[in-house]
Structure 1
Amino acid sequence: MTGRLMHSSGDTVTFHSDMAGDINVSWSKVKELRSQRQFVVLGKNQRWSWRAIRNVPAGSINVENDKIELKGRGEAEVMPIKETADVLDAETFNREAVQEVNFFRRWTGAASLGLTTVKATQNNYTYTTGVALMRSMPSVAYLPPRNRTTLNFTGSYSRITQRQAQDAPQLPDLKTSIFHGDSERDEYITSRIYLLVGTAFDHNFSQGLDLQQIYGGGVGWTVLKRPNQTLDLKATLQYEKQQFLATSLNANTNLIGSTFSLSYLRKLPFKAVFQQQMQYLPAYNQPSAYSANETNSLTFPVYKRLGFQIGTQDSYLNNPPPVMYPAPINQRNSFQVTSGISYRLK
C-alpha cells in the first residue's frame, strides 16, 4: 500500500492512502514500512524537556522486524516499536513543539446565542449568550501538552415591562441580569499535572451582587484523558472582592479563599458533547462568605459547525446582603435554564 505515514501513538499507527483514506492499525500488523520523509521518534522512557527539544534526532524511517530504524545525518538509530511512545513527521514536530506561535492564532471553541421576545399585556425580552475559547500548545493530541489558555463568558439578561392602567400605581419593570467571565493559563509540569493562574468576574442582579472579582493561582490534575472523555481537578488560593448593589446595606467584603473545581467533558454518540463544571469557593477569613457554582451543557450538531445547545447554571451565594426597603430580599440560590444556537470555532 502506498501513501503517507501520518503519525503513531503508542501501539496505533495512522497511515493515509489515496485509495482507502486514513487507516488506523496496530504496529503488530505492519510487516514493513519505508518513508524518505523526515520523522521524529519519541521513546516511552524519554524524559520530556522543552529546553532540549531542539536536539531530538530526525531522519527517514524504516520499520521491519518490530523495530524502527531512524536514518539521520549521523549514525542510524534502532528502537524496538514496543519502546516507542510517538512517531511524527519532523515538520509537524517543529511547528507544534518548537516554534513560537502568534498568541492570536490556534484558538478553538464555540459561541452560542439565544433570544426570546414576548409582546402582550407584558413585554418580555430575554437574551442569552456564551463564548468558550481554548488555545492548547501543542494543538495536536499525540504530543505532550506544554501550556493551555482558556477564555469564557456567559451572560443572561431579561426585562419585563408592564402596561400601566389609568390612574393606577405605576408598576416597576422586572429585571434579571447574570454575567460570568473567566480566564486561565496553565503551564504543564508533566503530561497530567500543571500550575495555573486565573481570574474570574461575576455579576448577579438577582442576588444583589454587583461585581465579584477573583484573582488566584494553584495546581491542576488531569485525572482522565481519553479520546471520549476528560476530567480535571483544580485547587487555587485566591483573593476575592465582593461589591453589592446600592439597594443593599454596606456589606462589601474582601476575602482570602480558594476554589476547588471539577471540569468534565464527555463525547456522546451522534457527535453530541456534554460538559460539566462544579466549583466550591470557601473563604478563610470569613467562613460564612462561601459560594458554589455548577454549569452543565449538552450540544447537538445540526448542520456543519452549527449546533443546538441546552444548559443549566446554578449559583449559590451564602452571604447575600440585607437590602433596604422596598427592595425584595436577596435569595441565596440562582438557577437558570438556557438554550440556543451554537457555532463551533476551529
Structure 2
Amino acid sequence: MRALIFVLLLASSLYAQTPKTPDSLVFVNGEQLTGTLEKADSKGITFKSLMAGEITVGWANIKELRSDQQFAVLTTNEKLTRRNAAAVVPSGRISVADKQLVVATKEGPKVVPIEKADRLIDAAAFDKAINHPQGLLQGWGGTAVGGVSLVRATQDSTTFTGALSLARATPTVDWLPARTKDSIAYNQSYGTSSQALTPTIKSNIFHANAEHDRYFSPRLFAFGAATFDHNYSQLVDLEQAYGGGVGITVIKNAKHELDFKGDIHYEKESFFTIDGSTPAPNLNLAGSTFSETYLRHLLKGIVFNEFGSVTPSWNDTNAYSAHVNAGFVFPVIKGFGLNINGIDDYLNNAPFGSKKNSVQYSTGITYTIKPR
C-alpha cells in the first residue's frame, strides 16, 4: 500500500513538472518561432520567444499559429454583458490558418474570421470577470503621495504634505460595459514656522471627498458625493457638502480622458476667528458645483492630471467659490515617482482678516497602487 502511494505521488510530481508545450508561429515565408502568445487584436499578435524576444506581428504575415493556452476570443462590435458573455464568447485552445481563427470550445470548433477578432483574453481572467464579481475591498487602485520640507536656521519651519487617491470600477475590465465607479480622496498640507521671541505661525489645509457613480451608458452617469474642507489660512473650520448630479465622459481613450459634471447640493460653512473676540459666521447654503476633470498620459510614462470647479450658491450669491488642482507625475522606478502639484482655492466670502485666495505648491514621492 505504501509503495502504491509513493508511486502515485511520484507520478503526480513528474506530471506537475512536465513543461508546457510552447506555442508555435509560422510566417508566410516559412520561418518558424516557438514561444508564448501573449495577446492579439484585429491588427495582429504579440508573441514572445527566447530567440527573438517580444515581437508584434500583423495577421497578413502569419501563415499558422497554434497555442495550447486557453483564450476567450472577443469579436468586433459585439455588445457584451456579464449575463450573455459566457454564451456569446467562444473560449478554448486556439489555432490560426488560412486567415481563420479556430477556437476549440467544449461544444466543438468555433471559426472566427481574422478581421473580426478584436482581442484574445486569458480564459481564467475572462471567467473571473463574468462569474466572480469582486468583493467590497477588491479592485481599488490609485496613488499615495508624501513629502516633507525642513528649514533649521534663524527661522525654523516644517511642512508635511500627503495625499491618497483611490478608485474602483465595476467591472474592472474595459470589454464589459461600466456599471459603477467609487472613488475616495484625501490630501493635507500642515506646517509651522517659528522664530525666537515671535509667535509660531501655523498652516493647515485639508480636503477629503467620496463619490459613487452609476452609469446609464458607457459615457453618461449619475453620482452622489460628499466633500469636506478645512483651511486654517482662510479661517475655514469645516466646509462640508452633500449632493448628487449627472456627469458625462466626453473623451476616453488610451491617451486621455475628459469628464464634465454638475450637481445640486447642501453645503454648510463653519468659520472661526483667530482671537475669538467676534462670533464666527456659520452658513447653510444650497448650491451647485460645475466641474471638469482631465487626465493625460504623456511621453515616457509622465501623467498630467487636472481638476477645476466653480461653486455658486443659490440662496446667498456672495458665497461662491472656485477650485483648481493640477499636477504631473514623473515615473522613477517600480511604481515610485516624483509628484509636482499645485492647488488654488478661491473663497469669495472669506472672513475679514483672511485672503480670498489660497495657493499651494508641493512636491513629493508618489507610489502607484495597482488594483488587486
Give yes or no for TM over 0.5: yes
In structure 1, runs of 5+ residues without a counterpart are 165-170, 323-328
Deviations 1:132-178 (A, max 9, x none): 223334445565544333221111112122322xxxxxx43222111
Residue in structure 1 matching 2:228, options 180, 201, 220: 201
Helix, strand or coil: the match of 1:96? helix
Residue in structure 1 matching 2:66, options 34, 38, 52: 34
Alignment partner, residue 202 of structure 2: 175
Structure 1 residue 185: Cα displacement = 2.6
Alignment partner, residue 68 of structure 1: 101
When structure 1 is superposed on structure 2, of 18-27 and 253-262 the one drifting more is 18-27
Structure 1 residue 79: Cα displacement = 3.1
Alignment partner, residue 95 of structure 1: 128
Count of equivalent residues: 334
Alignment partner, residue 2 of structure 1: 34
Alignment partner, residue 25 of structure 2: none
Distance 1:223 1:7, change over 3 A: farther
Residue in structure 1 matching 2:246, options 216, 219, 225: 219
Counterpart-to-counterpart distance in 1, 2:318 and 2:109: 66
Alignment partner, residue 298 of structure 1: 328
Counterpart-to-counterpart distance in 2, 1:332 and 1:319: 7
Structure 1 residue 310: Cα displacement = 1.4
Counterpart-to-counterpart distance in 1, 2:328 and 2:139: 24
TM-score of the aligned structures, taking structure 2 as reference length? 0.80
Q: Considering only aligned residues, what root-mean-square deviation do their CA atoms show, in Å? A: 2.6
In structure 2, runs of 5+ residues without a counterpart are 1-32
Structure 1 residue 18: Cα displacement = 4.1
Distance 1:21 1:122, change over 3 A: same
Alignment partner, residue 18 of structure 2: none
Counterpart-to-counterpart distance in 1, 2:151 and 2:102: 69
For the pair shown, the structure with the greater C-alpha radius of gyration is 2
Structure 1 residue 307: Cα displacement = 2.0
Distance 1:17 1:195, change over 3 A: farther
TM-score of the aligned structures, taking structure 1 as reference length? 0.85
Counterpart-to-counterpart distance in 1, 2:44 and 2:243: 40
Task: State the AA in 2 paired with 1:23.
Answer: I
Counterpart-to-counterpart distance in 2, 1:186 and 1:31: 46
Counterpart-to-counterpart distance in 1, 2:48 and 2:187: 40
Helix, strand or coil: the match of 1:206? helix
Alignment partner, residue 338 of structure 1: 362
What is the correspondence of 1:1-346 to structure 2 with a 5 Å cutoff?
1-57=33-89, 58-140=91-173, 144-164=177-197, 171-247=198-274, 249-322=279-352, 329-346=353-370
Deviations 1:227-285 (A, max 9, x none): 23222222233222222125564432222322222222222223222211112222233
